[in-house]
Structure 1
Amino acid sequence: MAADLTDAPAPAEEPAVQNILSIDIGGTGLKASVIDRHGTMIADKVRVPTPHPSPPGVLVEAIATLVKPLPHFDRVAIGFPGAVRANIILTAPHLGEEIWHGVDLAALVSQRLGGVPTKIVNDAEMQGLAVIKGQGLEFILTLGTGCGTGIFYNGELAPHLELSTHPIHKKYTYDTYVGNAAFETMGKKRWNKRVERVIALLRSLTHFDHLYIGGGNSKHVTLDLPTSVSLVSNEAGIDGGAALWSPRKGRHPEYDIGA
């Protein structure tokens, strides 16, 4: 007699992600919080200065110390200031280029935090995951210590282009053209002129449907922006970690701070 398949045990389902430790690694500061799978913070954000010099072992220990006060998490999402592919660091312009190439930071952090599954992407891309609408070609530009970028098409993350180190004008790269050092050297008015030029170049390069400008220095942007360009809060750099583990459609409109 054939077996009654209705009595066979159902295949075990993978446990749903509950809480995610989301870490935003910046050139000047490390920020972290625990969020739920929808991207809502369930703990106050913690922050410490980024150690310099910052070889992998030093950074991992700084992360472990940073997250001690935070509640339980079962996944980790990290935004890193450089090119990342399949959790492997390719570039780290603000942390020491040579010592970081080829480092599996996700594995190092996972091991240090007791084996918690960990994923890592570029920090601008993680912020973009929180703010994109998922329609057409969307581009995020983050203005902070340097200049970060991320490209999305119909909500999917495209291969990373490390424009931060790409030449933009004479001796300048995007990092040195509109990074924080340029802002402090030339002042807000001249820096905004450079940001305006960067927007025009990105439009010509990508023909984006929408450009989002985030990062710590986005608050200094005073340009009269077209409807296809908007400012978004830097807080999105933490929330985007949810999309690495629980992909979702849409965005959090509260991150909009200008049109």
Structure 2
Amino acid sequence: MQIFGVDIGGSGIKGAPVDLDKGDLAQERCKVLTPHPATPGAVADGVREVVEHFGWTGPVGLTFPGVVTGGATIRTAANVDKGWVDTDARALFADRLGGLPVTVVNDADAAGVAEMSFGAGRGRRGTVVLLTFGTGIGSALFTDGALVPNTELGHLELGGHDAEKRASSKAKEDHDLTWEHWARRVRKYLAHVEMLFSPELFIIGGGVSRKAEKFLPLIEGIKAEIVPAQLQNDAGIVGAAMHAAKS
């Protein structure tokens, strides 16, 4: 069974048909740059471009980098245009995609569900926290495999700032941090999350997971096991498709 998944991020919009039996992309993904400003209309145009690239005419699952309530309404927009707040994203995307069936879910929640089903969290019980490091820091919290949605732990305070302003991969690039310097910031952040939630496992996702060997060995003093996401930066696409299949 195949469903189309789209992952909307602060820097890119990427999507592909997903093989839900394997939990993997059925075709090579298409990616377009996230428009700036990332207004609802401009992002919807980008989503349409990605979907039309494949000539897709079936259900589409989408992620959004913020809190999504009721499967439709956007409540926060930290890394996209503030015009998203209170937008009915499901109606917007369905209209832009010519009436195709559409679902919308928080991006990190989607990635987490994919990793728990097909990746690094498969079969794991207890408390698991997936963190995606990209333009911001997304989070997905699981207890015995059940998702606690819309946690947004990237906005915990760290050193007087939103944690994602200090420890996201964008922060690494913006401040030209070495892997060692950035790893120290990530360690402080993980220690804070660990103090609050005492997870057995941290799964580190986002684009930076492809380079896990450069920074994970530098993170010490965390009691929880820390592993890179197995689906890497495709986890959001897979999770979006999984969400659509269940709706």
Which category describes the TM-score, using the shorter chain as reference length? Answer: 0.7 to 0.9
Larger relative contact order (C-alpha < 8 A, sep ≥ 6)? Answer: 2
Task: Answer yes or no: is the 8 Å Cα contact 1:150–1:161 preserved in 2.
Answer: yes
Which consecutive residues of structure 2, in runs of 5 or more, have no partner in the other structure? Answer: 117-121
1:198 maps onto 2:183 in alignment: no
1:154 maps onto 2:132 in alignment: no
How many residues align? The count is 228
1:230 maps onto 2:236 in alignment: no
Q: Provide the residue aligned with 2:20 in structure 1.
A: 37
Per-residue CA deviation, residues 211-250 of structure 1 (Å, 9 max, x unaligned), is 1000112325523366721111222222222331446xxx
Identity across matched positions, percent: 32
Deviation for aligned residue 1:19 = 2.8
* Residue pairs, 1:175-186, within 5 angstroms: 175-184=164-173, 185=175, 186=177
Q: Provide the residue aligned with 2:10 in structure 1.
A: 27
* Whole-Å separation in 2 of the counterparts to 1:111 and 1:246: 20
Higher helix share: 2
* Whole-Å separation in 1 of the counterparts to 2:97 and 2:171: 37
Task: Answer yes or no: is the 8 Å Cα contact 2:129–2:142 preserved in 1.
Answer: yes
Deviation for aligned residue 1:73 = 4.6
Q: Provide the residue aligned with 2:78 in structure 1.
A: 93
Q: Which amino acid aligns with 1:20?
A: I
SS of the aligned residue for 1:235 comes to helix
SS of the aligned residue for 2:140 comes to strand
The alignment's TM-score, normalised by the length of structure 1, stands at 0.81
Deviation for aligned residue 1:205 = 0.9
Q: Which amino acid aligns with 1:34?
A: P
Task: Answer yes or no: is the 8 Å Cα contact 1:43–1:70 preserved in 2.
Answer: no
Q: Which moved more, 1:219-228 or 1:32-41?
A: 219-228
Per-residue CA deviation, residues 151-171 of structure 1 (Å, 9 max, x unaligned), is 12222221322222332212x
* Residue pairs, 1:3-82, within 5 angstroms: 18-38=1-21, 39-82=23-66
Deviation for aligned residue 1:191 = 0.6
Bigger radius of gyration among the two: 1
* Whole-Å separation in 2 of the counterparts to 1:40 and 1:234: 11
Which consecutive residues of structure 1, in runs of 5 or more, have no partner in the other structure? Answer: 1-17, 248-259
SS of the aligned residue for 1:240 comes to helix
* Whole-Å separation in 2 of the counterparts to 1:214 and 1:91: 21
Task: Answer yes or no: is the 8 Å Cα contact 1:19–1:72 preserved in 2.
Answer: no
